[in-house]
Amino acid sequence: MSDSNWTTDFLNQLNSDITIAQIDNPSTILWQIETIHWQRFAEIALQEKLRWVAGWAEQQGTQFFIHACFEKQGTYILLRTVSDEQRPSIRSQATVYPAANRSERHTQDMFGINFIGHPDNRRWTRHQAWPEDAFPLRKDFPVQGAPEAITPPDMHYPFVKSYGAGVYEIPVGPVHAGIIEPGHFRFQAVGELILNLEERLGYVHKGIEKIAEGRSPEALARLAGRVSGDTTVGHCWAACRAMEYAADVEIPPRAALIRGILAERERVANHLGDMGAICNDVAFIFAQMQFTRLREQWLRTNAKVFKHRLLMDKIVPGGVACDVSESSQALIKQDIVQLRKELADIMLAVDLSTTLEDRLYTAGYLSPELAAAYGTLGYVARASGQDFDVRRDATYAPYDQVTFKIPVESQGDIASRFWVRHKEINVALKLLEQFIDLLTPGELLTAWKTPLAGREGLGIVEGWRGEIVTYLRFDADNRIARYYTRDPSILNWPALEKLVLNNIVPDFPVCNKSLNGSYSGNDL
């Protein structure tokens, strides 16, 4: 890929030695710089309006490779620096990009890398499950760790305090009603007005990055599909794209179209569920029941056509593990017609509900400026004026064969996040129809090629919550040396702390549901 004008201008401003290479992704450039320029790069990137995308690290022998990913106009810059120190130190990019905050804290906890000047270097990942001088993603840390019989309680996390007449504190969680995953929320309020909210996540840390090491491509794909159960298609697709780039494998056209069908069906099911849950949180039970019913019908079709309601393990390295017969294509099209009709009727009732209007409009406001600063993604970003979608802006098969519109709004409130979901459903239905019409007989799987040791790939897809970024590197014998995936929730969760401010405490549940971050996707 040739450099665009903005990359050339950027290099001139940086004015330092930089190694340019092509990573295994046609829309990505790899730049390696010296550690002393790490923060300066971020400062120039912000001036040039690059979006901060992800950050992670890796140990190779005695060296530590520290990465950050940026994007502009559909081109991704994978930034790398290398440190030979046993306890590396590097200046924080979170002082420039708030979006980098929690990723740097995760890297600090997992590798012992010190981010100098970080605005919040409190421990973040998995709390008290290992000593402060142990770093689980270093090569000398055993996968099983050395757990105590009972993990010590995380009682002393230094939450931010507020003081003043009438100020009180409300702890919520980490255990919640129902079956949702754990997360702790600490409020300061006056009366019912929220002054501050602080999140404490990490209760469902699974060791995904550690247990990925040494896996085969097939086993890594299965693991990726379990990063976040509601995004099994998105994460598995991103992992497979990264592996396929590294192995120089091109999947068959029919397999690409089926991957698109799987992804859009996942998008529709989750948006229907979210829209119902938003209605439920403001006691509009009729709409909640209807959205849930439509979602259930959609999932039953998944089970009939793909033999799995949530579409797990249907994407595999080199293609797909399922086909869509002509009778299944007819069933999916019938499903689309029925959903359009029933959804239109329900949305008419929703639009006429003054109760829903009172609770959703202007509540949970996230300004376009904050949405950009925190790097928000998907429907959260697009409801606050951020016009970005990987399917269009860094396009990949099968989206490069069709035309579609990305819905964007600027109101930034709960209502806008609700309506963007509705519009994305309609876009997904049109995409499904186009993908089915493009299906022609062909292979479903390309023979795998064992990549050379050291080959790395970056897989990027538009999941239903937004952009998913997966990095991996192969070791010898077709085994995974490093796997990291950035779920959209990692960047969307911090926005919740901002959009609830100056709302009332009873509006927190619906504010939270309008964002609907994944705990599991956040807690690798």
| pLDDT 10s digits, 186-220 | 999 999 999 999 999 988 889 999 999 999 999 99
CA 26 to chain CA centroid, Å, is: 21
Residue 122 lies in a domain: no
Residues 374, 495, single domain; the answer is: yes
Number of domains in the chain: 3
Cβ burial, residue 79 (10 Å; 0-12/13-18/19+): buried
Domain termination residue (choose one: 84, 116, 148): 116
Residue 157 forms part of a structural domain: no
CB 48 within 8 A of CB 40: no
CA atoms within 13 A on the CB side of 321: 16
CB 19 within 8 A of CB 32: yes
Name residue 199's beta-bridge partners. 185
Do 218 and 186 fall within a single domain? Answer: no
HEC readout, 421-483: HHHHHHHHHHHHHHHHHHCCCCCCECCCCCCCCCCEEEEEEEECCEEEEEEEEECHHHCEEEE
Q: Rounded to an integer, what distance in angstroms lies between the CA atom of residue 307 and that of residue 163?
A: 56
Phi, psi angle pair for 308, to nearest 5°: -160, 125
**Same domain membership, residue 196 and residue 242:** no
Residue 151 lies in a domain: no
In a domain, 282, yes or no: yes
Tokens of 217: 């491509």
* CATH code for position 391: 1.10.645.10
461 beta partners:
468
pLDDT digits (tens, 9 = 90+) for 116-168: 999 998 889 877 888 888 899 999 998 888 888 887 888 888 898 888 888 99
Domain shared by 76 and 182, yes or no? no
Last residue of a domain, one of 98, 116, 134: 116
> Using an 8 Å Cβ cutoff, are 266 and 232 in contact?
yes
- 83 with 220, same domain: the answer is no
Give the separation between CA 302 and CA 298, rounded to whole angstroms. 7
Determine the pLDDT at residue 2. 41
Side-chain-side CA neighbours of residue 4 (13 Å): 11
Q: Which helix (H) or strand (E) holds 32?
A: strand 28-32
Locate the DSSP E strands across 278-423: 315-316, 319-320
Domain-terminating residue out of 200, 216, 245: 200
Residue 468 domain-assigned (yes or no): yes
Q: Looking at the domain assignment, is residue 161 inside a domain?
A: no
On whether both 69 and 188 belong to a single domain, the answer is no
H helix and E strand count, the chain: 17, 15
Is residue 490 within 8 A of residue 466, CB to CB? The reply is: no
pTM of model > 0.85: yes
| Tokens standing for residue 113 | 């890398």
CATH at residue 13 = 3.30.460.80
Residue with tokens 């109101």: 411
User: Which amino acid makes up residue 124?
Assistant: W
CA distances from 378 to 43, 430, 492 (A): 25, 18, 9
Pairing of strands 75-83, 28-32: parallel
pLDDT at 15: 63
Check whether residue 346 and residue 375 sit in a common domain. yes
Residues 181 and 110 in one domain: no
Give domain status of residue 314, yes or no. yes
Q: 144 lies in a domain?
A: no
pLDDT of residue 1: 38
Across 63-109, the runs of DSSP E, i.e. the strands, are 63-72, 75-83, 89-91
Do residues 193 and 178 touch, judged by C-beta distance below 8 A? no
> What is the structure's pLDDT at 439?
97
297 is in which domain, residue-wise?
208-522
What is the spatial distance between Cα 269 and Cα 265, in angstroms, rounded to a whole number?
A: 6
In angstroms, the Cα distances linking 1 to 25, 72, 78, 400, 426 are 10, 15, 14, 17, 34
Same domain, 232 and 190: no
Which H/E stretch holds residue 493?
Answer: helix 489-499
Q: 500 and 475, same structural domain?
A: yes
Closest CA to 141 of 213, 90, 246: 213
Report the pLDDT value the prediction gives residue 19, as an integer from 0 to 100: 67
Low-confidence spans in the chain with pLDDT less than 70: 1-6, 14-25
Cα Dmax for the chain: 72
Residues 386 and 370 in one domain: yes
pLDDT at site 17? 63
Query: Is there a single domain that holds both residue 91 and residue 222?
Result: no
Alpha helices in 131-283 (DSSP H): 208-212, 217-224, 232-247, 253-281
